[in-house]
Amino acid sequence: MAQAYPKVTFMQAKLKQVTKMNMIIVEKDGQDIKVNFDVLVLCTGFSYDQPVKGVTALTLADRKKNHADFYNKIKESKSVLIAGAGIVGIELAGEFAVKYAQSNEKRIGICVRGERLLPNLPLKAARIAEEFLRRNNVEIHFKTPYGPSTAKELGYELPI
């Protein structure tokens, strides 16, 4: 005998309220929508407003345009500050070091909240990354948490 599956509703929206009557109220496209449920599963994911993946980039074409626009911003800027010393931030800093900082074409910096790069990797990896970045003219700003004004305070034109 085939198993009957319940109706499943998938929705990407902003949760506003969960009621005691097994109903949620969400906001989607500026409208409040009420949805009844027996079982509620929230998959929160995350949202961030970055040039590479803005909150409005929902299609591949949107992403490609965002990438092209972002590349042009980098190309036109005189200095770039990268926020974060995790694997992605260090990889980006390394790419920019080779492309721009080695030749002093652009001032490249990275701000680090803590006292070392790559905090989730062995200390040896952090030391190798730091030596490479310094050798290639990347400025490392330790104990510098990133905030809305950090790039400007450190004298960088484009925060990433």
Q: Give me the residue spans of the domains in the chain.
A: 77-159
Q: Return the pLDDT at 51.
A: 56
Q: Return the pLDDT at 45.
A: 63
Name 79's Cβ contacts closer than 8 Å, sequence gap at least 6. 106, 107, 108, 109, 155, 156, 157, 158
Over 80: is that where the pLDDT of 46 sits?
Answer: no
Contact of 116 with 145, CB cutoff 8 Å: no
**pLDDT winner (highest mean) among 12-26, 32-46, 50-64:** 12-26
Please check whether the domain covering 77-159 is classified as CATH 2.130.10.10. Answer: no
Q: Per-residue pLDDT averaged across 47-53, rounded?
A: 55
Which band of pLDDT confidence, cut at 50, 70 and 90, is reported for residue 111? very high
Name 70's Cβ contacts closer than 8 Å, sequence gap at least 6. 51, 52
Angle in degrees, CA 81, 86, 89, rounded to 5: 35
Place of tokens 């910096």: 109
Q: Which of 44, 42, 39, 62 is nearest to 52 (CA)?
A: 62
